[in-house]
Amino acid sequence: MNFSIENLPYGVFSTAVSAPRIGVAFEDDVLDLALLEIEGLLDTHNLFNQPALNAFMGAGREVWTAVRRRLQTLLSEDMPRLRQLHALIPQAQVTMHLPAHIGDYTDFYASRQHATNVGTMFRGAENALPPNWLHLPIGYHGRASSVVISGTPLRRPHGQLKPSPDAPPIFAPSQQLDFELEVGAFIGLGNELGTPIPIAEAQAHIFGLVLLNDWSARDIQRWEYAPLGPFLGKSIGTTISPWVVTLDALEPWRMAGPAQVDPVPLPYLQSTRPWAYDIPLEVHLNGHLISRTNFNQLYWNVAQQLAHHTSNGCNLRPGDLLGSGTISGDTPDSLGSLLEITWGGTRPLTLPDGSQRTFLQDGDTLTLTGGAQGVGFGEARGQILPALESA
């Protein structure tokens, strides 16, 4: 899992005898921050005996950094006392919950490779990217209520489908259920309505990152998306990993992202510091590796997404979630969706057991993993359940 002392990601956990509260992952354990706060080992007041991270997220970067340093000191110098207090609980004995109350969820379309692949399939290579794609981070407002924690099963949805261009639509279970390999960013400090967040201040407003799978029913989405965009084909469920990795932990892996020179973004989207992160990502289907890529492939980075999202004065709040959009690389083994891997279902994927997939089947388990050296994210995992017999 790579939950080293340099990582210390935050999450919400419960045990058989305790209600949900906040902890950090350390090696194979969870460090109970609510208990440390009660015992006076943290210089905070009632931030961690909470069922969600929102209050801590809203406390701001100075508090985040101070708590992180204090935890590293305790774990380096005071382990006997932590053991005596029973503040370290084996991860195998806890149940993880959503890390925050997610008031709003926005999903972007920020990987150039993914957008080019999908556009080529649907519109041809000459018109693969929409005319605005290289000028702004395209996004849509998703459904926060269907964001779920890793391990939550997903039921195959019913929806309107149009199997043939010459036939009327039908209402039936989706036959093209897909995953999307993404990284999600949790907002910490929010902004007032009408007050944009400049890109230079993004560091103060982004709390941390999680793995994110924005499940997609491609056949439902294809029929419904014009003219307004994703709706029922995307709100079926969004799976996130339970541990939020902070930007402080990821700082050693910060790097420059893809060049943005033709065209150069407008000034409000230009940053003087790099905002890509060297985070290897993997996709496993029923335990078999089917894709490997990197978060640094994202064309529009998380700071640009934040700046654009608030550029009209839209107010974000602690716990709001931004999805990166599907992350795909340049090679066939680095694609972030089955839509791309099988090229719309025309090139079936053969698994090591000999079975083939064009899209996900009932019973399939899809798992996202990722992390840099010593800084792991855990996993975002979900299994496909059969559709209801009637809907």
Whole-angstrom Cα distance, residue 318 to residue 59? 9
Q: What is the DSSP string of 272-332?
A: SS--EE--EEEEEETTEEEEEEEGGG-SS-HHHHHHHHHTT-PPP-TT-EEE------SSG
3-state SS class at 89:
strand
Whole-angstrom Cα distance, residue 368 to residue 281? 7
Contact predicate 59/111, CB 8 Å = no
Contact predicate 263/345, CB 8 Å = no
Whole-angstrom Cα distance, residue 228 to residue 205? 29
> Cα dist. 124→221, 336, 341, 342 in Å?
19, 20, 17, 17
Whole-angstrom Cα distance, residue 391 to residue 144? 22
Whole-angstrom Cα distance, residue 65 to residue 43? 12
Whole-angstrom Cα distance, residue 322 to residue 105? 6
Whole-angstrom Cα distance, residue 67 to residue 84? 21
Which pair of structure tokens corresponds to residue 207? 């709390």
Catalytic residue among 114, 158, 205, 309: 114
Is 288 designated active site?
Answer: no
Residue written as tokens 């932990």? 249
Active site residues: 114
